[in-house]
Amino acid sequence: MQWYTNNIAVSGGTNANFSVLPLALGNGTNTVKAIITDPALVGGSPWVLTDTNNLLRQTNTWTVKVTVTNLNLSSPLWLGTNRFRLTVSGYAPQGFTIQASTNLTNASGWVTLSTNGLTNIFNYTNNTGSTNFKWRYFRARTPP
């Protein structure tokens, strides 16, 4: 047995079971293929002298669509008057939210500030100018 991803043989991929991480394939349409050969062909079995019709070989191919969300927060900039800007880059076709919290200890303390789609870059500015918070933490999240 030999496994292939996108028509490239997987090194060590000769077991009956095969697992691959989505990031190893990449976003988009991919193929996963298994070629199974009857061991009677290996080592010159006296039972099978020739297999010109490939009856002792089976190929199964699957098409796999991968959509891996990948977000990166960068370029933080303090604008004064309690305003803050950051850049979100990456790939989030199902959208993402910008959330803020005044502490990192309370999981329910995150408040959604903005909901957006993303295929490249999004610049976010906290325009509230609120003086209610001495510190504020920001994060970007995708839906499950």
Is a pLDDT exceeding 70 seen at residue 128? Answer: no
Q: What pLDDT digit, counting tens, does each position of 41-68 carry?
A: 555 556 666 667 777 788 999 999 987 7
- CA gap 7, 11 in Å, rounded: 12
Q: What pLDDT digit, counting tens, does each position of 8-26 carry?
A: 999 988 888 899 888 788 8
Instruction: Delineate the domains of the chain, giving CATH numbers in brackets.
Output: 2-66 (no CATH), 70-141 (2.60.40)
Is a pLDDT exceeding 70 seen at residue 132? Answer: no
Is a pLDDT exceeding 90 seen at residue 116? Answer: no
**By percentage, how much of the chain surpasses pLDDT 90?**
15
**By percentage, how much of the chain surpasses pLDDT 70?**
84
Bigger pLDDT: 130 or 32? 32
